[in-house]
């Protein structure tokens, strides 16, 4: 049977469902790869992916398959799982992944691309970053709450024409994906924002904007960003962190009413992305024998909270 699937999407959370529904509306043929038969059954019971935008809900009967049941070679894979779930989610697909498949990582945190390169050396790995605002209001139901933009790029040398084709393939109204030559800087700045906002909101159980209103928390935030700036200088990334504190404060303000993804994970008893956010930063610092006491303290506190909530 011919395989007309354009993009396989691994991770049916808010961003995975948002992309799946946009591609489906555009007449492409995406496929959701679900964890197990029970998830597939829940998906079928939901009737597909429901996208809510501007108060209107539309259900898209998108092709879905249990990851372990995929037989045709996978050539294009968009990964939208949480960073820490990536390797485990990918394992059942390993035999089906074309050796030179294109894999796009669209997730919070850093460190997964390096792990994939180690485990699957032939893959063409691209990284993407989005400011689209979306949240899951129920399983397979996503609210597209805020329009944003998305960039894609690759570390090191990569053929621009392939990247451009990939960006075009993943662009579907209203989602626009463009190629960036600066993806490492963009992801690093996003990491810094997440290192500062996410653990502090999770520890203090507050919305992003409240970080700015509590002087003792704001002091912690300043210390976290200062350490990131120091580490960035030691790593040779000085120009990646220009105006970093203002950016972090600006994001906390602009997303003031948001409950960060880390706070939501913790409150729902899910493992957070801390090991790929503050953990990634601390691993890089360790390799340079640089001390990051404020960031390390947040990492340790999150581990303790995860243990207390029973998910670690
Ligand atoms: O990316 C985010 C997250 O919650 O993961 C921020 C920017 C902090 C918005 O809430």
For residue range 286-304, list pLDDT tens digits in order: 999 999 999 999 999 999 9
Res 1 pLDDT > 60 = no
Give the residue whose CA is nearest to atom 5 of ligand 1: 261
Q: Mind telling me the catalytic residues?
A: 190
Could you tell me the distance, in angstroms and rounded to a whole number, from the CA of residue 100 to the centre of ligand 1?
32
- Nearest-10 Cα torsion for 248, 103, 178, 49: -80
Q: Which residue has the tokens 């063409």?
A: 124
Task: Specify the residue with its C-alpha closest to ligand 1, atom 6.
Answer: 260
Region 142-150: mean pLDDT is 95
How large is the average pLDDT for residues 81-90? 97
**156, pLDDT greater than 80:** no
Whether pLDDT at 279 is above 70: yes
Ligand 1 atom nearest to CA at 194: 8
**Percent with pLDDT over 90 in the chain:** 94
If you count DSSP H runs as helices and E runs as strands, how many of each does the chain have, helices first?
11, 12
pLDDT tens per residue across span 31-85? 999 999 999 999 999 999 999 999 999 999 999 999 999 998 999 999 999 999 9
Q: Which atom of ligand 1 is nearest to the CA of 263?
A: 4
pLDDT at position 160, please?
Answer: 87
150 CA to middle of ligand 1, Å? 15
As given in the structure block, the two tokens for residue 134 are 């979306």
Average pLDDT value over all residues in the chain: 95
Cβ of 193: how many Cβ atoms within 10 Å? 21
What confidence tier does 3 reach under pLDDT thresholds 50, 70, 90? Answer: low
Helix (H, G, I), strand (E, B) or coil at 30: coil
Task: Indicate which atom in ligand 1 lies nearest the CA of residue 108.
Answer: 5
Short-list 287, 286, 221, 285, CA closest to 250: 221
**What's the average model confidence in pLDDT over 126-145?**
95
Question: Is the per-residue pLDDT at 155 higher than 90?
Answer: no
The CA-based angle 66-70-74, given to 5 degrees, is: 120
| Ligand 1 pocket: which of 198, 256, 257 to mutate (most atoms within 8 A of CB) | 198
Contact 86, 64 (CB under 8 A): no
pLDDT score for 2: 43
Ligand 1: residues whose CB is within 6 Å?
108, 193-194, 197-198, 208, 251, 255, 258, 260-261
Question: And the tokens for 79?
Answer: 């990964």
Q: What is the pLDDT of residue 177?
A: 98
CA–centroid distance, residue 208 to ligand 1 (Å)? 8
Q: How far is the CA of 194 from the centre of ligand 1 (A)?
A: 6
pLDDT in tens, 190-237: 999 999 999 999 999 999 999 999 999 999 999 999 999 999 999 999
pLDDT band at 157 (very low <50, low <70, confident <90, very high): low
Instruction: Assess contact for 241 and 229: CB atoms under 8 A.
Output: yes
Burial of 226 (0-12, 13-18, 19+ CB in 10 A): middle
Q: Under the phi-then-psi rule, with left for phi > 0, alpha for psi from -120 to 50, and beta for the rest, what region is 109?
A: left
Written as six digits, the tokens of 13 are 């959370």
Cα torsion 202, 208, 210, 213: sign:
positive
Question: Does position 119 have pLDDT exceeding 90, yes or no?
Answer: yes
Per the listing, tokens 């909530």 go with 309
């Amino acid at each position: 049977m011919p395989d007309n699937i354009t993009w396989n999407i691994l991770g049916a959370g808010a961003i995975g469902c948002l992309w799946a529904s946009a591609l489906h509306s555009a007449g492409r043929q995406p496929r959701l790869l679900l964890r197990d038969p029970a998830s597939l059954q829940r998906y079928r019971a939901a009737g597909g992916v429901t996208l809510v935008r501007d108060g209107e809900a539309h259900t898209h009967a998108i092709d879905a398959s249990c990851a372990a049941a995929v037989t045709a070679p996978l050539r294009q894979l968009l990964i939208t799982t949480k960073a820490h779930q990536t390797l485990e989610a990918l394992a059942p697909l390993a035999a089906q992944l074309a050796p030179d498949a294109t894999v796009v990582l669209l997730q919070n945190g850093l460190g997964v691309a390096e792990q994939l390169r180690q485990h699957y050396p032939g893959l063409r790995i691209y990284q993407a970053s989005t400011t689209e605002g979306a949240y899951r209001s129920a399983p397979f139901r996503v609210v597209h709450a805020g329009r944003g933009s998305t960039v894609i790029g690759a570390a090191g040398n990569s053929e621009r024409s392939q990247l451009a084709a990939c960006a075009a393939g993943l662009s579907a109204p209203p989602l626009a994906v463009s190629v960036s030559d600066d993806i490492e800087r963009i992801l690093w700045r996003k990491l810094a924002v997440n290192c500062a906002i996410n653990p502090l909101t999770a520890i203090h159980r507050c919305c992003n904007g409240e970080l700015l209103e509590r002087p003792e928390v704001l002091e912690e935030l300043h210390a976290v960003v200062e350490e990131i700036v120091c580490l960035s200088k030691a790593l040779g990334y000085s120009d990646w962190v220009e105006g970093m504190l203002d950016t972090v404060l600006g994001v906390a303000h602009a997303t003031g009413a948001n409950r960060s993804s880390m706070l939501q994970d913790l409150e729902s008893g899910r493992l957070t992305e801390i090991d790929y956010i503050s953990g990634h930063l601390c691993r890089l610092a360790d390799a340079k024998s640089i001390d990051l006491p404020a960031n390390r303290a947040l990492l340790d506190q999150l581990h303790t909270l995860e243990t207390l909530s029973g998910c670690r």
